[in-house]
Structure 1
Amino acid sequence: MSDPIWTYDRFEPGQSFGEVTIPLDTERTDGWAAIYGPPTGPDAPDGMIVAGMMEAYIRAIQPRPKGNVHASQTLAFTGATVPLGAKVTYHVSVRDKALKKGRNWVTFSLRAEAAGQELMTGEILSIWAA
């Protein structure tokens, strides 16, 4: 039996979706290099950390309804770096939800860390379709 689809009514502020670990492995580095060129040093570019954040967000909340809108996001980097090949752990949770003009708005909080060091925090504001 499959899990029920995530609907607006199921979200609660403070609700955690746990951790998703994304390895900054050769496959991800090669994908990054194909689009942006190879990283210029031994550490992952900030954009690769953000790409991992989006992957973690999508993987953590499944199954999802079709038609969600990624309305905005905010990011705050700590300045800490992580070497290519390391694993980054993302923590995904619900910060807030609100009904506005008949739309389901959900704010998700995300935090990235590697080797016990915080790399970045972020929020994703979504209009949830169901």
Structure 2
Amino acid sequence: MLTFEKLTPGDNLGTNTQYFDDDVAADWLELFPEDKEDLPELPPGMISAITMRAFLATVQPRPKGNIHGTQEFTVHKFPKLGDEIITTTLCKEKETRKSNNWVYFETQSHDQNGELLFTGSMGIIWGG
């Protein structure tokens, strides 16, 4: 279990690979049909979904009761249909503030050629 005490700033918590293909785009467009105009590039709204899926897959096992508090991204390049999106999640820092344990994570997403796509940071009130 990744308790607050066990998380260490600088730790690489893992890498997750997702594919931006026609099936993924079709699923997204069912929810957000207006994003079709962004294709063949990844619609910007998908960045959060990709990052959260990577976080959920790599930061395991987590205690119950975590609350997603903050999130922001910097886009360096949008992936295109057919690209792999490889996301690494790092523990950036942690602190206790107002009796809440906060953990801050950094994500780095690259394509299959190693090109940086987007980076992100998120703050989570860590449960348990």
Aligned position for 1:62: 60
Structure 1 counterpart of 2:84, from 84, 87, 91: 87
TM-score by length of 2: 0.90
Deviation >6 Å, runs of 4+: none
Structure 1 counterpart of 2:109, from 100, 109, 112: 112
- Structure 1 unaligned regions, length at least 5: none
Task: Give the aligned residue type for 1:103.
Answer: N
Following superposition, the deviation at residue 34 of structure 1 comes to: 0.7
Mapping for residues 16-27 of structure 1, pairs under 5 Å = 16-27=12-23
- Structure 2 unaligned regions, length at least 5: none
Comparing 44-53 and 107-116, the one that deviates more = 44-53
Task: Give the aligned residue type for 2:123.
Answer: L
Task: Give the aligned residue type for 1:111.
Answer: Q
Alignment root-mean-square deviation, CA? 1.3
- 1:52 equivalent to 2:50? Answer yes
Aligned residues: 125
Alpha-carbon separation, structure 2, partners of 1:70 and 1:30: 27
Aligned position for 1:124: 122
Task: Give the aligned residue type for 1:119.
Answer: L
Alpha-carbon separation, structure 1, partners of 2:66 and 2:23: 28
Task: Give the aligned residue type for 2:48.
Answer: V
Instruction: Give the conservation status (yes or no) of the 8 Å contact 2:93–2:103.
Output: yes
Alpha-carbon separation, structure 1, partners of 2:116 and 2:23: 23
TM-score by length of 1: 0.89
